[in-house]
Amino acid sequence: MSKQPAIELRNITKTFGKVVANKNVNLTAYHGEILSILGENGSGKTTLMNMISGIYFPDEGSIHVNGEEAVITSPKDAFAYKIGMIHQHFKLVDVFSAAENIILGIDDGKYNLKKSTEEIRKISEQYGFELQPEKKIYTMSVSEKQTVEIIKVLYRGADILILDEPTAVLTPQETTKLFEILRRMRDDGKCIIIITHKLHEVLSLSDRVSVLRKGEYVGTVNTAETSESELTEMMVGKKIELNINRTDVNDPKDRLIVKNISCINRQGAVVLDDISFTAKGGEILGIAGIAGSGQRELLESIAGLQHLTEGEILYHNPKTDSIDNLRDKTPVQIRELGVRLSFVPEDRLGMGLVGNMDIVDNMMLRSYTKGKSIFLQRKAPKDLANKIIEDLEVVTPGASTPVRRLSGGNVQKVLVGREIAASPKVLMVAYPVRGLDINSSYLIYNLLNEQKEKGVCVIFVGEDLDVLVELCDRIMVIGSGRITGIVDGRTTTKEEIGLLMTKSKEETKESSDDN
């Protein structure tokens, strides 16, 4: 071994309550290389890196930096070892300027914001970043914030850089640019660790790949000697083919007609821009796009949770054959119109369910207003809870357990179970398999297909293009709040969708530049 190991993890174990996040993980990264840490959502990648950067402290095991055992109890220790982490959720103070955020926590003699600002300018010029150091964070776009985060680490002269899912919020162009910078740093002798679950990024960027599965270390391979299928196998355990059952659509009827809707968020940015589409009963309409392109706002608009500036949402009621406009109606008003709308939001415990309430009380969320009595009726929800626990094989000590204590997959089963139990005519699901294991994911796909066969109009917002392509009948692609294309799920390819996702950014950027 000629290369010096920059960082070495030995037998690291970390638990949160009863959940084992990492179990006996061993890992080595060298100077002058890019190491990818690959794993599904919830495989413990971020927890592991948080231990290197001092956010968490391992229950067992040791960390070695440059061959010496290192005790990293705080991020400050991590800096001392020249370890810098760029978190997926940016750690920035909103009311501070970029420069203030960058120098935060550094003690290098006299406090001189002007001088520091100059240095920051120099660094950003050196790498070709565009950054105004005086700009306040709360006025910044997502990619600007990421730039601040990266410069923050560079400013500290980090030798070991850890990036947690850095491309999740970037456009392909921005990603390419970032990768170039990372390669330049590697050639500089720095050790780059990048956490991801995107295979093509792993293959195009990294020198070696370490794989985690359910908190355990699976192995490390050289990128040059591996293939996508081998990595997938390491990641998921056994070789799986995404064999999602897709039945033919029979007799689709227009159920939801969305006409030219636009929406502005609290900060005054346009999040939905002139969106029009029709969703039909008996089909699954997929929605693809880079995270934060307006998917959430779109679903919330239909569910009556967003105020629209323009357009209308028409619901075709199959029972009465009447057409209702859902725009600017509250969820209660929508329900009173007889619209059978179910919605599985992205934020399960923050929106769909209440973590501190038990399963029975969570079942009531949708139905508690039923009846004239001022008191709650707990009998029916209790039966429903038990039925869902049985049918969907929810692992729980009982129906009176707070949902916060369930694992991610079981939480999702409770939520999806409840929404389907309302026998909807329109079912909207956002990232329903995020953080779920393979078995739970398939259970969810099957449930969606079942609903489709019953003639329900299913709207599926997904992030995994493979799943979208295999599950959905039609796929609508959005970017920056605009529709960039609607394609047939049976004939399209991942590449086509990927292209549509990226095309939009450019167009929107140009049009906004004109303004």
Which residues on neighbouring strands pair with residue 427, listed in sequence order? 342, 458
Our CB check for another protein shows the closer of 353 and 448 to be 353
Our CB check for another protein shows the closer of 103 and 429 to be 103
Give the DSSP H/E element, type plus range, for residue 342: strand 341-344
For 249-305, give the DSSP string: P-S-EEEEEEEEEEEE-TTS-EEEEEEEEEEEETSEEEEE-STTSSHHHHHHHHTT-
Residues 323-342 that bind another protein (CB under 8 A): 330-332, 334-335
DSSP state of 248: P
- How far apart are CB 214 and another protein at their closest, in Å? 17
Residues 157-186 that bind another protein (CB under 8 A): none
Is residue 74 a contact point for another protein (CB under 8 A)?
A: yes
- How far apart are CB 123 and another protein at their closest, in Å? 17
* Part of the chain binding another protein (CB under 8 A), chosen from 68-76, 126-134, 185-193, 289-297: 68-76
Is residue 111 a contact point for another protein (CB under 8 A)?
A: yes
Residues 203-262 that bind another protein (CB under 8 A): none
How many other CB atoms are found less than 10 A from the CB of residue 375? 6
Is residue 100 a contact point for another protein (CB under 8 A)?
A: yes
Our CB check for another protein shows the closer of 273 and 361 to be 361
- How far apart are CB 327 and another protein at their closest, in Å? 16
Is residue 515 a contact point for another protein (CB under 8 A)?
A: no
- How far apart are CB 275 and another protein at their closest, in Å? 21
Provide the mask over 388-427, with x wherever binding to another protein is found by CB under 8 A and - wherever it is not: ----------------xx----------------------
Compute the distance between CA of residue 199 and CA of residue 105 in angstroms, rounded to an integer.
Answer: 35
> Minimal CA–CA distance to 476: which of 501, 455, 441?
501
Q: Which of 8, 29, 39, 81 binds another protein (CB under 8 A)?
A: 81
Q: Which of 22, 36, 43, 53 binds another protein (CB under 8 A)?
A: 53
Is residue 115 a contact point for another protein (CB under 8 A)?
A: no
SS3 category, 138: helix
Q: Which of 5, 11, 174, 177 binds another protein (CB under 8 A)?
A: 11
Is residue 73 a contact point for another protein (CB under 8 A)?
A: yes
* Part of the chain binding another protein (CB under 8 A), chosen from 99-107, 200-208, 428-436, 503-511: 99-107
- How far apart are CB 77 and another protein at their closest, in Å? 6
Is residue 315 a contact point for another protein (CB under 8 A)?
A: no
Is residue 304 a contact point for another protein (CB under 8 A)?
A: yes
SS3 category, 38: strand
Q: In what order do the strands lie in the sheet with 284-288?
A: 341-344, 426-430, 457-461, 284-288, 474-479, 482-488
Answer for the pair 8, 64: CB distance below 8 angstroms, yes or no: yes
Is residue 352 a contact point for another protein (CB under 8 A)?
A: yes
Is residue 80 a contact point for another protein (CB under 8 A)?
A: yes
Is residue 105 a contact point for another protein (CB under 8 A)?
A: yes
Buried b (16+ CB within 10 A) or exposed e, 226-264: beeeebbebbbeeeeeeebebeebeebeebbbbbebbbb
Q: Which of 93, 240, 269, 395 binds another protein (CB under 8 A)?
A: 93
Answer for the pair 505, 483: CB distance below 8 angstroms, yes or no: no
User: Nearest 5°: CA angle at 30, between 28 and 34?
Assistant: 100
- How far apart are CB 330 and another protein at their closest, in Å? 6
> Phi then psi for 460, rounded to 5 degrees?
-120, 115
Binding residue count for another protein, defined by CB under 8 A:
73
For 189-202, give the DSSP string: T-EEEEEE--HHHH
Q: Which of 3, 4, 57, 204 binds another protein (CB under 8 A)?
A: 57
- How far apart are CB 229 and another protein at their closest, in Å? 32
Q: How far is CA 326 from the centre of its chain?
A: 28
Q: Which of 5, 20, 64, 91 binds another protein (CB under 8 A)?
A: 91
- Between β-strands 160-164 and 83-86, what pairing exists: parallel, antiparallel or unpaired? parallel
Residues 355-394 that bind another protein (CB under 8 A): 355-357, 361, 364-366, 368-369, 374-376
Is residue 353 a contact point for another protein (CB under 8 A)?
A: yes
Provide the mask over 119-158, with x wherever binding to another protein is found by CB under 8 A and - wherever it is not: -----------------x-x-------------x------
- How far apart are CB 50 and another protein at their closest, in Å? 9
- How far apart are CB 71 and another protein at their closest, in Å? 5
Q: Which of 31, 87, 316, 413 binds another protein (CB under 8 A)?
A: 87
DSSP state of 331: H
Answer for the pair 40, 195: CB distance below 8 angstroms, yes or no: no
For 145-204, give the DSSP string: HHHHHHHHHHHTT-SEEEEESTTTT--HHHHHHHHHHHHHHHHTT-EEEEEE--HHHHHH
Answer for the pair 176, 164: CB distance below 8 angstroms, yes or no: no
